[in-house]
A and B are shown apart, each in its own frame.
Chain A
Amino acid sequence: MGTPILQVENLSFQYDKRTAHTLSNVSFTAQQGEWLGIVGNNGSGKSTLAKLLVGLLQPEEGQIHINGMKVNQENIWKVRSKIGLVFQNPDNQFIGTTVEDDVAFGLENLNMPYEDMKARVDEALSLVGMTDFRYYDPSNLSGGQKQRVAIAGILALKPSILILDEAFVMLDPKSRRELLATLKKLKQDENITIISITHDMNEAVDADRIIVLKAGKIVNSGTPSEVFHEEQELEPPFAEQLRRLLQERNAKVPPEFMTEQELVRWLCK
């Protein structure tokens, strides 16, 4: 593997000097084309980490390098052209008065010519399946639809690193599967790096690698099978829950983590 596209070293951060650190001594890397999952309970500092990565907050200690560039006041706009963040709350993410205006907002900032913007907006809206809603007022959309538009707004910018902060929580299972498949394809075709923040372990199993945050510290990391095998505290994905239950009943299941497909294959043997 070459140099990582994202490198985080000894990152510490606190909102308020009087309270404990929100993040302490966090270090990790992400390779280009990798799908990195960040999991952790409420208040473990996931969103704070995301904001630090895009330079909305400044670290107290430690540093972040993206594509070899240090994230600081000087480089911030260069960095932001490489990295996109979809925020957790879909309600406050709309700048435009219609769906397509909103998706175009980031492109307008690049002073892109109209024809190019139109092509990018069309493409981004069809990727998230919102083409039919392009003239809608975003405030009239459902939560899941809003999240999809927010994702489209970032996809249109074609970032090399895409951070999704619980961007799927309001999506119904079918749309979630579809959108995850779309993103996976995008990751393959365009070799983008995806950092997906979630507390849904069924979503996290799709990642190439997982980082577990707890009270601002990385307590575990590795492939989903490693993490879910070791980590007994996290609620594991459905397949792992089933495997553990079978194990309790003394069924002869393999002792390690299995994905849904692996488990199905084993059960139908």
Chain B
Amino acid sequence: MNKLILGRYFPGESVLHYMDPRAKLLAGFIFIFIVFLASNWQTLALLTSFTFFVMCLSGVSFKVYLRGVRPLIWLILFTVFLQVLFRSGGTVYFDWGPITISHNGIINGVYIFFRFVLIIFFTTVITLTTKPIELTDGIYFLLSPLEKLKVPVDEIALMLSISLRFIPNLLDETQKVMDAQRARGTEFGEGSLLKQMKTLVPIFLPLYESSLNRAEDMANVMEVRGYQSGLTRSNFRRLTWHTKDTLALVTMALLTLGLLLLQ
């Protein structure tokens, strides 16, 4: 659990930490689109240096970002290999049936690799500097136009925020149940795979039961405090848009323009 960096929040005091989550989310979306404009060395260099600049701003060490890429490295390499092996064009270095390794294939592979890594870095910057609840608020705001289409955005946001509230509890409880089982002599992570899987059953069953109980208790609490689905609710958490948020989006626009010019 501790290894997963993607989607984690790192408390800090950087400018990015104090930005409006809506601005960060919008910047993230823009970034994902403009990554595909990086199709030559100049654009790639511009985008990479921009990403590094943003990573430095976050005040989180590079090691953390690298750890964020690690769980996805096989997926990335797989995609890159597919590109290299099946894409043709340019000088051919190797040819065997449907598999050709060509100049264009390799170049494309390199681009794909960089695009992947840059997207991961950039989105990690966002999740590392934004509290999950702020992200939820941001998503809620950005999705709220969908309310016109009868999408229950309000409920989705509440569900998300309650699930986020549950995560630390669930981790605590897992720890407790594991300790309790250890006290009864269970050893985790030993023996054959089947044996290891069997030791997990007495963890999941109590967890499942306690989660159900917890959910029922919480539903009771929500009801007693007057929660009814479909009701118009006001929002206590407020998002405030500052000049720096506007500046960030202007920067993203300039970056897009720069990429288009260099293409």
Q: Is A87 a contact partner of B220 (Cβ separation < 8 A)?
A: yes
Partner of A89 from the list B217, B226, B227 (CB cut-off 8 Å) is B217
Whether a CB of chain B sits under 8 angstroms from the CB of A100 is yes
Q: Is B236 a contact partner of A97 (Cβ separation < 8 A)?
A: no
Q: Which of B73-81, B162-170, B181-189 contacts A (4 or more CB under 8 A)?
A: B162-170
Q: Is A157 a contact partner of B232 (Cβ separation < 8 A)?
A: no
Encode A105-140 as 1/0 by CB contact (under 8 A) with B: 111111111100110010000000000000001010
Whether a CB of chain A sits under 8 angstroms from the CB of B223 is yes
Smallest CB separation, A97 vs chain B (Å): 4
- A106 in contact with B231 given A92-B217, A121-B236 (CB within 8 Å): no
A101 to B234, CA, bound (A): 12
Partner of A154 from the list B162, B222, B225 (CB cut-off 8 Å) is B225
**Can you name the residue of chain A whose Cβ is closest to the Cβ of B133?**
A97
Q: Is B221 a contact partner of A87 (Cβ separation < 8 A)?
A: yes
Q: Is A85 a contact partner of B224 (Cβ separation < 8 A)?
A: yes
Q: Is B169 a contact partner of A108 (Cβ separation < 8 A)?
A: no
A81 to B231, CA, bound (A): 15
Partner of B234 from the list A51, A84, A100, A114 (CB cut-off 8 Å) is A114
Q: Is B232 a contact partner of A111 (Cβ separation < 8 A)?
A: yes
- A114 in contact with B221 given A97-B164, A106-B226, A139-B168 (CB within 8 Å): no
With a cutoff of 8 Å between Cβ atoms, the chain A residues found around residue B233 in the complex are 108-109, 111
**Can you name the residue of chain A whose Cβ is closest to the Cβ of B217?**
A92
**Can you name the residue of chain A whose Cβ is closest to the Cβ of B226?**
A109
- A95 in contact with B162 given A56-B224, A109-B228, A111-B231 (CB within 8 Å): yes
Partner of B236 from the list A91, A114, A154 (CB cut-off 8 Å) is A114
**Can you name the residue of chain B whose Cβ is closest to the Cβ of A106?**
B225
Classify chain A: how many residues form its interface, as a range.
35 or more
A124 to B208, CA, bound (A): 35
Chain A CB within 10 Å, residue with most, of B133, B223, B228, B236:
B236
A-B contact pairs, 26 of them (CB 8 A): A81-B226, A89-B217, A92-B217, A92-B221, A93-B221, A95-B165, A95-B218, A96-B165, A97-B161, A97-B164, A100-B236, A105-B225, A105-B227, A106-B225, A106-B227, A107-B234, A108-B233, A108-B235, A109-B228, A109-B233, A110-B226, A137-B168, A139-B165, A139-B168, A154-B224, A154-B225
**Which A residues contact B (CB, under 8 angstroms)?**
51, 54, 56, 77, 80-81, 84-85, 87, 89, 91-98, 100-101, 104-114, 117-118, 121, 137, 139, 153-154, 157
Cβ-closest 4 pairs across A and B: A106-B225, A92-B217, A104-B236, A109-B226
